């Protein structure tokens, strides 16, 4: 049975993303606005997204905003983590002993996609260093 109400359009505003800042580290934030250029005749999509579309990201903490192209953002509907080069000092979250914990990158081996990270284990206040293998596959598993 139909209620006669239209479904709301899916909006990208409010999507959680990560983006590079001036210090070349990724920080988390939320899309606050989408700026699309004036439509042009060869644009066939109905929402006028073009390579010139800009996304305004407000970083966690609420004071800093910046505009990015879609290729510069990591998150749902944007690029994934494959090919991302993490720098020492980058904060990451990973699963350790079945829990999500915060870690700081010490080194990222781009050839093997291994991270050497320092983890602050919850409840013990002890820093541990270990190697974490990033599992990025581009091949079809058969």
Q: What is the pLDDT of residues 67-107, one digit of tens each?
A: 999 999 999 889 888 888 999 999 988 887 788 888 899 99
Residue 115: its pLDDT value, please? 86
Which letter does DSSP use for residue 55 in this model? Answer: E
Is pLDDT above 50 for 124? yes
Biggest distance spanned by C-alpha atoms of the chain? 61
Instruction: Report the percent of the chain where pLDDT is more than 70.
Output: 68
Average pLDDT in the chain? 79
In the three-class reduction of DSSP (H, G, I as helix; E, B as strand; rest coil), residue 56 is classed as: strand
Cα 39 versus chain centre, distance: 28
pLDDT tens profile 39-49: 655 555 555 56
Task: Look at residue 95 in the predicted model and tell me its pLDDT.
Answer: 83
129 pLDDT above the threshold of 50: yes
DSSP three-state, residue 70:
helix
Q: Looking at residue 50, what is its pLDDT? A: 66
Above 50 in pLDDT, residue 10? yes
């Amino acid at each position: 049975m139909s209620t006669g109400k239209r479904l709301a359009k899916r909006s990208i505003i409010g999507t959680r993303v990560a983006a590079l800042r001036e210090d070349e580290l990724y920080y988390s934030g939320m899309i606050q606005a989408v700026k699309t250029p004036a439509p042009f005749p060869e644009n066939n999509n109905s929402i006028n997204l073009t390579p010139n579309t800009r996304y305004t990201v407000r970083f966690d903490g609420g004071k800093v905003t910046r505009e990015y192209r879609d290729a510069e953002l990591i998150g749902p509907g944007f690029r994934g983590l494959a090919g991302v080069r993490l720098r020492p000092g980058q904060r990451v979250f990973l699963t350790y002993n079945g829990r999500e914990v915060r870690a700081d990158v010490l080194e990222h081996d781009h050839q093997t996609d291994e991270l050497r990270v320092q983890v602050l284990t919850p409840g013990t206040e002890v820093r541990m260093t270990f190697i974490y293998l990033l599992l990025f596959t581009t091949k079809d598993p058969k």
